[in-house]
Structures are given as C-alpha cells and as structure tokens.
Chains A and B, each alone.
Chain A
Amino acid sequence: MSVLAQQLVLGLLIGGLYGLAAAGLGLVFGVMKVLNVAHGELIMLGGYGAFWLVTLLGIDPFASLGLVVPLGLALGVILYVALFGFVVRADEETRVKNSLLIGFGLALALHATAVRLWTADERSVPTPWGGAVLSVGNLSLPVVRLASLGVALGLIAILHLLLTRWRWGKAVRAAAEDWQAALLTGIDVRRAYVLAFALGTGLAGAAGTLVTISYSVSPSIGLEWSLKALIVIVLAGLGSTFGIFVGGLVLGVAEALSAFTFGGPYREVAGLVLFVVILVARPRGLFGR
C-alpha cells in the first residue's frame, strides 16, 4: 500500500512538470492555432540555460529561473518575428501544417546545436539541499521535486492572473476567441500573438529549468517533452490554464498507476487507454470548451 502511495506521489510530482510544459504549448496553440512541435526543444534549451548559469555563476538553481525566464521571453519574440509570424498569415488549416514543418526544422536545428555545444551526455545540476527528503508517515518526498511542483503551480497562477487581469492578457484571450472580432474592437492582434508566443517560450524555459533541477537534461529530451505536453493538451482541452495543469497531474498519476499495476515497461500503456477513452468520450478534452 505504501509503495502505491509513494508511486502516486512521485507521479504527482512529475505531473506538475507535465502541466507546466503543456501550459506553454497550450497557450501558443490555443491563441494562434500554431502547433509548435519544437516546444520540447525549447524546454531542453531552458534546461541547458539553467545548467550554464548554475555552473558558471554558481547561483542557486531555483534562482536561475530569474534569468532563464526573461531569456525565454526574448527568444520567443525572436522566434515569432523570424519564423512563426509568417505562419500566422495563412488560414487555420495551413497554419497547422506550416507550423508543423517549421517546428520540425527548428527542432532538428536546435537538437543538432545542443549536441554540438553540450555533447549528448545527460547533465543535472546539484542543489545544496539536493538529497534532502521530507518524510510524511511512510512517504518520502524529495524536497527538490516538491519545491519544483510548488514553483510550477506558482507560475501557472501567475499566468492565470496575467491572462485574466492584465490589459494585454485580456487582449491575448480575445485574440484566441476570435481574432477578427478582436481586430475590429481595436486590439493589436499581432502584438497579442507576439506576447502569447513569448509567454509560451518563457514557460518552456521555466519548465526546462525545473526538469533539469529535479531530473536531468540531454539534447534528446525535446521530443519526449513535446509529446507529453501534446498529450496533456488533448487530455485537458484548451481554455483553462488550471485545467491544463490538472491534466498534467492526471497524466503523471496515470503513468505511475500503470507502472505500479503492470510493471515499469508498461508505464505508458495506461496513458494510451486513458487517452483513447477521453478522446472518444470528450473530443474537446476534460476541461475544454
């Protein structure tokens, strides 16, 4: 019993990161209908950003978020202006296709660059309190992962506040709902798109940092994280930031349950079953509108 509880807790802890990874991708997809398959590579870059800052400056890994996130926002603006801005001009169906193509080219280029710069080895960053474990009853909670979950939840809350309270956040949501109507009411849709893409990239940077702190980073983690994020988006549906976060937790717990019941090799099978069931029952996702 306590083994099961322990697995579930670990599932929740990684699920929070799935949720954070999916929140950035979901924002970009929901607002612009652009499917950025290089999102996982952006997470990977964020992870290496944290790795570099910690190794070169010797700062606390969590403090590196303060630099990685702004750098992510800036990178998002650059990527939008250089690449994804061209995709947005087409109609919705072409948008999806062209963004897949550009995203794939970008993923290829970023992966090759990362192998060149940092080799294919796995890296992780040591935290001063890295080995610490919090014991609650029979459960042991790794402090670093617990803190990562807390930070992820905090970032999701900030995103939610930005989108609901801030002038430009509301503009982003208006552009997501109906960009033509938004344009007619005088909203600068292009700027809202840039903002949404930058926020998505910033969140990818934050997710990468937390992944590197809690687990490890290597140039090839990109695809896996893109996929987890995509699964969470379909699972949760678009429209609610907290919904996506909960979707991440659901996926994490489902994987843990599956690994516990059927053994490690079948970890992803429960994901499959859950995914197909939800796909059939609710094509718009658990929390989608």
Chain B
Amino acid sequence: MTTGHERAWTIGILAALAALALLPLAKPRDDTLNFVFVILLSITMAQSWNIVAGFAGQVNLGHAAFFGLGALVARTLWIGGTPIAAGMAAGTAVAVAFALVIGVAAFRLRGAYFAIGTLALAEIFRTTVSNVLPEISTLPVAAIGGYRLTHRYYLALGLAAASIVVVAELSGSRLGLGMQAIRDDEEAAEASGIGAVRLKLTALALSTALAGLAGGLFAYYHISYYPAHPFSPHWTFDALLMTFIGGVGTLQGPVLGAVLYVVLKEYLALRWVDIHLLIFGALFIAIVLALPGGLVQAAERVRALTRSR
C-alpha cells in the first residue's frame, strides 16, 4: 500500500535527483561529479538488491554476478563497435536470462541455503572470468579522446531515478503486495493463491535488469578495469550493507543507506588512510548492533517516542 508518507519520500528523492541534474551546469570539478556518480550507482545497486531481499524476502548474495554479466557483455559489444545503448540492452538481457535459469534452481533453496547457494554461484562466475580473461580491459585511444564524464553522470542519474520509480510502483501494486506476502509467510501466501515461484522469479528479473543496466553503466564509465572486477562479491555486499543500514523493504532506506555508506567510507579513507577499513568495519558492526532495523526503523522509534510524550 502506498501511504502518503511513502509518496512524500518518492517525490522528495526524485526532486533531489532532479536538482542534481543541474550540478554539471555549475561546472564542478571532475572529482565532485565522480563522487556523486558513485553515490548514484550505489543507490541503483542498493535499490535493485532491495527488490529481491526487501520485497520478496530472499537474501540474494549473487547480485554481483548479474552486475558483472551486464558489464562484461556491454563492454565487449561497445569496444567491438556497437553503440553503448545497444550494448547495455544486450548485457541486461543476458543478465536477466541467466538470473531466470539460476533462479529456477536456487529458489528451491530456503533462507540461508539460498544465500549460500547464490553466493557460491556468483563466486564461480568471478573466478572463471578472472581465469579466462586475466588481461585488463582498456578503452581504445579514440574512445578515450571522446570521453565525456557528464554523459556518464546523466546516465547514472537516470538509472537511479528509474530504480526509485520501479520500487515506488512496486510497493503500491498487487505484484509488490504478493511479494511481501511471500516474504512474511511463504506457505500462507501459496495457500491464498499466490504463485510463489513465479513472483520470486519476477522480483529477481526486475532486480537483475536494474543490476545489469548498472553493470553496463560501469563498463561505459571506467576507462580501464579488470573484467573480473565487477563480479567481485563486494558489489553484492555493498548493496546489502547499504540496504540494511538504511532499512530493508522500504523505499527510502536503500537511498539513505547508500548516501551514508559512501560518504562515511570516503571520509574515513581521507581521514585515516591506512586503517580506514579497520575503522569502517568496526563502526559498521557498531551500527548493526545499535540499529538492528536500520535508519528507517530507528527514525520511526524516535518519532513514536516524541509522539507519546
């Protein structure tokens, strides 16, 4: 059910993204644009992960595989001369096709077994790609000459907005409600006539489509990277961590989580160069222990307290 509260968040976030569209007009430094780009990409990844985990209740630890497939296909086609839009579309199609095949097998597993199974599958993709394509992938010189950061920036902005719209639409629709019913009690949902496997596959396909597009964007954005890098489990875990810090299953949670996560990590990296990951890891554990339901639930609790007074 779309509450007024949720609609307000949707409008607020989309307005903030619209305002960010004006940022390149102010001729900012490249590192500012790059920083916002990372936040936008993170929002897309977190929100796409949220569709499967937050709505359908399946902790998918194989998200990186679909991001990586999107990147791999888009990059290969693009460097081969295909327009980037077609490359991204092809990459997304491949990612979704793989997700459906894998999903049919993996959705036989429940709970933690599903998490382990998907993680293992993604990791096998990563090791295989890194063994078969060990060379770094660099853009041809001609393409580097024509590189425009603002193109990537606007694409990232569009994708982040699309992920918000998808989740906002989902949370009000029959489809989204069915997914939430599966999350809350799969047997009861099936008993009341919901096709659990079909809905879980739909959630996975939606989530994967966004991740595949994000992968294509990654391939379009980076001048050189190792083909196995986008398959790294860090892409899965970053999306998971942002979503949980913010609030899983909510519209605004993954957005807030992504902003906090990226800003915090960047700040710590600048402040404590050598040991920033140690501090980040420790701080992260502290946040999880202190706010088990994420920022959104913490805010609700504070609101409930102030209201009862």
Rounded to whole Å, the gap between the CB of B198 and the closest CB of chain A is 18
Interface presence of B59 (CB below 8 A): yes
- For A95, the closest partner residue in chain B by CB is B112
0/1 per residue, B267-281, Cβ < 8 Å to A?
000000011111011
Task: Please classify how large the interface on chain A is, using the bins under 10, 10 to 19, 20 to 34, 35 or more.
Answer: 35 or more
Q: Please name 21 pairs of A and B residues whose Cβ atoms are closer than 8 Å in the assembled complex, sorted by A.
A: A94-B292, A96-B112, A97-B244, A98-B292, A104-B284, A105-B282, A105-B285, A105-B288, A109-B285, A111-B277, A112-B277, A113-B278, A116-B274, A227-B123, A230-B116, A233-B116, A268-B128, A271-B124, A275-B121, A279-B109, A280-B108
B115 proximity list for chain A (CB < 8 A)? 35, 96, 100
Docked Cα-Cα span, A134 to B285, in Å, equals 48
With A230-B120, A269-B128, A280-B105 as known contacts, state yes or no: A33 contacts B281, CB within 8 Å. Answer: no
**Once the chains bind, are A29 and B112 in contact (CB under 8 Å)?**
yes
- For A226, the closest partner residue in chain B by CB is B119
Mark B residues whose CB is within 8 Å of A: 57, 59, 61, 105-106, 108-113, 115-117, 119-121, 123-124, 127-128, 131-132, 233, 237, 240-241, 244, 248, 274-278, 280-282, 284-285, 288-289, 292
**Once the chains bind, are A109 and B277 in contact (CB under 8 Å)?**
yes
Docked Cα-Cα span, A28 to B59, in Å, equals 19
The total of Cβ contacts below 8 Å across the A-B interface reads 119
**Once the chains bind, are B292 and A227 in contact (CB under 8 Å)?**
no
Docked Cα-Cα span, A106 to B237, in Å, equals 13
Interface presence of A3 (CB below 8 A): no
Q: Which of A58-66, A173-181, A259-267 contacts B (4 or more CB under 8 A)?
A: A259-267
B276 proximity list for chain A (CB < 8 A)? 112
**Once the chains bind, are B116 and A97 in contact (CB under 8 Å)?**
no
Interface presence of A93 (CB below 8 A): yes
Docked Cα-Cα span, A107 to B108, in Å, equals 29
What's the dominant secondary structure at chain B's contact region?
helix
Docked Cα-Cα span, A104 to B288, in Å, equals 11
Interface presence of A86 (CB below 8 A): yes
**Once the chains bind, are A98 and B281 in contact (CB under 8 Å)?**
no
Which of chain A's residues 240-286 have a Cβ closer than 8 Å to chain B?
Answer: 264-269, 271-272, 275-276, 279-280, 283
What's the dominant secondary structure at chain A's contact region?
helix
Docked Cα-Cα span, A233 to B115, in Å, equals 12
B57 proximity list for chain A (CB < 8 A)? 93
Q: Which of A83, A108, A264, A280 is most buried by chain B, counting CB atoms within 10 A of its CB?
A: A108
Rounded to whole Å, the gap between the CB of A267 and the closest CB of chain B is 7
**Once the chains bind, are B277 and A108 in contact (CB under 8 Å)?**
yes
**Once the chains bind, are A108 and B280 in contact (CB under 8 Å)?**
yes
Interface presence of A56 (CB below 8 A): no
- For B286, the closest partner residue in chain A by CB is A105
**Once the chains bind, are A109 and B128 in contact (CB under 8 Å)?**
no
A94 proximity list for chain B (CB < 8 A)? 292
Docked Cα-Cα span, A22 to B170, in Å, equals 39
Among candidates A33, A101, A102, A268, residue contacting B112 with C-beta atoms closer than 8 Å:
A33
Interface presence of A90 (CB below 8 A): yes
Docked Cα-Cα span, A276 to B105, in Å, equals 7
Docked Cα-Cα span, A105 to B282, in Å, equals 6
**Once the chains bind, are A106 and B288 in contact (CB under 8 Å)?**
no
**Once the chains bind, are B112 and A35 in contact (CB under 8 Å)?**
yes
Interface presence of A203 (CB below 8 A): no
Which of chain A's residues 71-130 have a Cβ closer than 8 Å to chain B?
Answer: 83, 86, 90, 92-94, 96-98, 100-102, 104-113, 116
Interface presence of A231 (CB below 8 A): yes
Interface presence of A234 (CB below 8 A): yes
Rounded to whole Å, the gap between the CB of A266 and the closest CB of chain B is 7
Interface presence of A223 (CB below 8 A): yes
**Once the chains bind, are B131 and A267 in contact (CB under 8 Å)?**
yes
B59 proximity list for chain A (CB < 8 A)? 96-97, 100
A266 proximity list for chain B (CB < 8 A)? 128, 131-132
**Once the chains bind, are B282 and A109 in contact (CB under 8 Å)?**
yes
**Once the chains bind, are B105 and A108 in contact (CB under 8 Å)?**
no
With A96-B115, A265-B131 as known contacts, state yes or no: A101 contacts B244, CB within 8 Å. Answer: yes
**Once the chains bind, are B288 and A102 in contact (CB under 8 Å)?**
yes
B109 proximity list for chain A (CB < 8 A)? 234, 279, 283
With A83-B285, A102-B285, A108-B280 as known contacts, state yes or no: A279 contacts B128, CB within 8 Å. Answer: no
Rounded to whole Å, the gap between the CB of A88 and the closest CB of chain B is 13
Which of chain A's residues 27-56 have a Cβ closer than 8 Å to chain B?
Answer: 29, 33, 35
**Once the chains bind, are A283 and B113 in contact (CB under 8 Å)?**
yes
With A108-B277, A111-B277 as known contacts, state yes or no: A227 contacts B128, CB within 8 Å. Answer: no
- For B106, the closest partner residue in chain A by CB is A279
**Once the chains bind, are A265 and B111 in contact (CB under 8 Å)?**
no
- For A271, the closest partner residue in chain B by CB is B124
Among candidates A93, A98, A234, A279, residue contacting B288 with C-beta atoms closer than 8 Å:
A98
